[in-house]
Structure 1
Amino acid sequence: MRRNLLPVMALLLGTLFLFLGNGLYGLLLPVRGAAEGYSNEVLGLLGTSWATGFVLGCFVAPKLVMRVGHVRAFSTFVSLISVIALLSGIIIDAEWWIVLRAITGFCTAGTSMIIESWLNERATNESRGAIFSFYISITLIGVVGGQMLVGVFDPTTTILFMICGIVYGVAVMPTTMSTAASPQPLKSLKLDLPLLYRNSPVSFVGILLIGIANGAYGTLGAVFGTRVGLDAATIASLLSVTIFLGAIMQFPAGKLSDRIDRRYVLAALSALAAFAAVALVFIEPTSATWIFILVGIYGAAANALYPIAVAHANDFAKPDEFVKVSGGLLLLFGIGTIIGPTIGGPVMTAAGPYSLFTVTAIAHLSISAYAIYRSRLRAAIPAEDRENMPNLPISASPLSTPESLSLDPRAAPLPEQDEEPQFRTGTSG
């Protein structure tokens, strides 16, 4: 393990500080915005603009990196994020924050793609799993650690914005000082929606709805906490708990989906997430303990859905289509993440903070119903013919880039075969 990770430790150290800043800045803005009296619609647009910039960055950033090189591009992206974080503490203005947040999303896509391609370049088939697992763990620790900092200092002052700038400044150092050779040019995947739907209608519809639900809660969860009277430290703990529980739930859920029809697992987890969301809407608990319990159940179920949906799509894909199918679903998830906060903000304004979970409940109930409906129309791949899901969280951060898919062990080159491989097929519809 140590031998596999030593060549990329500088990159991983920079990644830790990058996601530490991302976690802090991503939670700080809605908490500070709510304290400033910004409307739910405006706070929702912060998430929409970030996701829009991120998705755009997945398409455009590779071309910029090819022009100036990985190190210069990475330094520029991180420096710009640092400047924007500091500007956000100086310019307390909703319209400026929305614009700056889009630029941050774009730059975050660029930095993530550079790190992921760099790690992939250094990985071998033998070390790919270890590096991928450690990378995901680093991003998870960084995001949660950054969120917890919001509860340490007063978010209504400029100190947390200054800490963001410092953390991002440190993030650029290990990567620019690394002696690791620059990787090959980044890949920009095209989103082939008809192909994705033909391959797996459940994954296509499910990933879009998962993006809507996760985008709504990921952006407005902090606003919900503020509106129901939780302090900054409690809000940070609440969001961190849902991330951890979701990561833990992926292990048993993934194992179960390897043994039975993955669509049944998707339907059950979606129903559980919807149940917790409906309970929050109807009970409207005022006790922080009950909020933690119900939101914890919600987070555990909701955050385990994405990798199962991707695995189901790959059950019906050709062996060499993993990156193309998963990359397309990843960008489709990004589109849902753009939609979710845009819907969630006005709904919260019209019906109160707990109505945020009305949006997620509708999305999850739709996933459950559609998965069951599709299971009646198309036979599942037999369990013995499926490739087991790796025991790795797929997405610790709000979004990953298509470059991260090359690190997944399932994207490793297949061994040569003497005979023509028999691809799995199924009737779509």
Structure 2
Amino acid sequence: MILVFKNSWALLLGMLLLMIGNGLQGTLMGVRGGIEGFSTFQLSLITSAYFVGFLGGSRLAPEFIRRVGHVRVFAALGSFISAALILYPTLTDPISWFVLRVVIGFCFSGVYVTAESWLNNSTTNALRGQTLSIYMIVQMAGIVTAQGLLNIGDPAGYVLFVIPSVLVSVSFAPILLSVTPTPAFETTKQMSLKELYAISPLGFVGTLILGSIFSAQFGMSAVYATEAGLSVGQISIFIASIFIGAMVLQYPIGWMSDRMDRRVLIMIISIIGAGSSLLGWALGQNFTMLLVAGFLMGGMSTPLYSLLIAYTNDYLEVEDMAAASGGLLFVNGLGAIGGPVITGWIMTQMGPQGFWVFIMLLMMIMVLYALYRTTRRQSVYAAEDDYDSVPYASISPSSTMVAVEVAQELYVDTAEEMAEDGDT
């Protein structure tokens, strides 16, 4: 781990600052939107706009990088982010915010692709797994830290919009001044969605559902908390609890994933996730119970993304693992676009508690579909007595194609090593 920090500290510091800036502006949108009098449904559309931009950026940024290089793409997109953040408190109408959120989502996606490419290039094959794990921790730590910054200014003013703009601008310095050389950017051929669904229906459907769950958490939790009457300090603590849960429970779930039937674990995690939403719905008026619900909700949903990818890989040939990553990422992005809009509509009909109802329903759909799939296909564990699963790798649902492909490379390397050991 020390060697990872020695090789990549500048890149990791830059990514930490980026995540703090993104985490702060994401929460601030929900709080400031309520102050400006935006309706719940308008805020849900504004939230969804980020994921529209993010999905578009993940598809187009690699082409930009190939044409003009990492440095120019990074600097250009970063400038747009800083400018958009400053414009938020000036253009306080839903249409302007929607456009700005599309721009920010697009630019953050491109910036993440660029930075993750550098990070991947700065490490060795032997340290790639540790680097991915540390990167995951940095992502979550940045979002949690951002919630603390929400308390240092007035959401109705300008200061809280200036802070993420400055953080994003400053984050470029350690990355661009790093001695790590600019990497060559290559992408793998993507697998068609039809092929991906045929190989792993649960992986496909589960990733689609999870995209909606994660985007609702990331984008609508502040809207829910504002409508529920929480103070700014309480909102920041509640949202932090979601990502702390994701950070703390990622590794215990990963450990279990490598030691049991992953379909069973998917069902268990989804049941606990649905239970946490039921807890938030029934007892969310008690702030302590609300934090417990948030911790469990985040702790179940975020690791579920890595688990679904690992499960899908159980049914892939080694040579297809990298190609499948693009399809899974795209499916997750499609779910993420729809999640906030549906959440906003339900909250409009039911009030703020609709936030919990939506997540609970999706978790239960995940349980029922996983249970259905157990009746349609024999588990790989049952099919092969000497089966050894390819180890779980921690990935965030907000990661770009670069991080997902790095994880797939780890799967491929491990699968090949396991095959060689079997031959001997």
TM-score (norm. length: structure 1): 0.91
* Structure 1, 248-257 or 357-366: larger mean CA deviation: 248-257
Deviations 1:220-240 (A, max 9, x none): 111111111111121111111
* Structure 1, 138-147 or 289-298: larger mean CA deviation: 289-298
Matched residue, 1:247: 247
Matched residue, 1:296: 295
Is 2:210–2:335's contact at 8 Å kept on the other side of the alignment? yes
Matched residue, 2:388: 386
Matched residue, 2:43: 43
Correspondence list, 1:205-354, <5 A: 205-281=205-281, 283=282, 285-354=284-353
Distance in 1, Cα, partners of 2:133 & 2:60:
27
> In the TM superposition, what is the alpha-carbon distance from 1:362 to its structure 2 partner?
1.4
Return the letter of the residue paired with 1:343: I
Distance in 1, Cα, partners of 2:304 & 2:390:
16
Compared with structure 1, are the counterparts of its residues 87 and 227 closer, same or farther at alpha carbon in structure 2 (3 Å cutoff)?
same
Deviations 1:366-401 (A, max 9, x none): 1101111111221112285233534x5311xx5111
Deviations 1:47-90 (A, max 9, x none): 21110111111111111112221111101111110111111122
Distance in 1, Cα, partners of 2:43 & 2:191:
28
Return the letter of the residue paired with 1:78: G
Distance in 1, Cα, partners of 2:279 & 2:254:
26
Structure 2 residue 128 is the aligned partner of structure 1 residue 128: yes
Correspondence list, 1:56-67, <5 A: 56-67=56-67
Structure 2 residue 12 is the aligned partner of structure 1 residue 12: yes
Distance in 1, Cα, partners of 2:14 & 2:205:
35
Specify the SS of the correspondent of 2:198.
helix
* Structure 1, 185-194 or 4-13: larger mean CA deviation: 185-194
Deviations 1:231-287 (A, max 9, x none): 112111111111111222222222223222211111111112112223433x25422
Compared with structure 1, are the counterparts of its residues 221 and 50 closer, same or farther at alpha carbon in structure 2 (3 Å cutoff)?
same
Determine what percentage of the aligned residue pairs are the same residue: 32
* Structure 1, 405-414 or 213-222: larger mean CA deviation: 405-414
Distance in 1, Cα, partners of 2:89 & 2:402:
32
Structure 2 residue 398 is the aligned partner of structure 1 residue 399: yes
Distance in 2, Cα, partners of 1:416 & 1:368:
32
Is 1:276–1:294's contact at 8 Å kept on the other side of the alignment? yes
Specify the SS of the correspondent of 1:253.
helix
Compared with structure 1, are the counterparts of its residues 216 and 306 closer, same or farther at alpha carbon in structure 2 (3 Å cutoff)?
same
Is 1:84–1:104's contact at 8 Å kept on the other side of the alignment? yes
Specify the SS of the correspondent of 1:123.
coil
Return the letter of the residue paired with 2:32: R
Distance in 2, Cα, partners of 1:50 & 1:285:
27
Is 1:59–1:188's contact at 8 Å kept on the other side of the alignment? no
Distance in 2, Cα, partners of 1:149 & 1:134:
23
Structure 2 residue 357 is the aligned partner of structure 1 residue 355: no
Specify the SS of the correspondent of 1:385.
coil
Is 2:213–2:362's contact at 8 Å kept on the other side of the alignment? yes
* Structure 1, 228-237 or 319-328: larger mean CA deviation: 319-328
Structure 1 spans left out of the alignment, 5+ residues = 423-429
Is 1:208–1:335's contact at 8 Å kept on the other side of the alignment? yes
Distance in 1, Cα, partners of 2:286 & 2:47:
27
Specify the SS of the correspondent of 1:303.
helix
* Structure 1, 358-367 or 132-141: larger mean CA deviation: 132-141
> In the TM superposition, what is the alpha-carbon distance from 1:289 to its structure 2 partner?
1.6
Compared with structure 1, are the counterparts of its residues 189 and 32 closer, same or farther at alpha carbon in structure 2 (3 Å cutoff)?
farther
Deviations 1:78-106 (A, max 9, x none): 11101111111222222111101111111
Is 1:186–1:403's contact at 8 Å kept on the other side of the alignment? no
Return the letter of the residue paired with 1:296: F
Matched residue, 2:368: 369
Return the letter of the residue paired with 1:386: D
Compared with structure 1, are the counterparts of its residues 412 and 174 closer, same or farther at alpha carbon in structure 2 (3 Å cutoff)?
farther
Compared with structure 1, are the counterparts of its residues 388 and 244 closer, same or farther at alpha carbon in structure 2 (3 Å cutoff)?
farther
Specify the SS of the correspondent of 1:211.
helix
> In the TM superposition, what is the alpha-carbon distance from 1:158 to its structure 2 partner?
0.6
> In the TM superposition, what is the alpha-carbon distance from 1:411 to its structure 2 partner?
4.5
Distance in 2, Cα, partners of 1:421 & 1:328:
30
Is 2:391–2:411's contact at 8 Å kept on the other side of the alignment? no
Compared with structure 1, are the counterparts of its residues 105 and 219 closer, same or farther at alpha carbon in structure 2 (3 Å cutoff)?
same
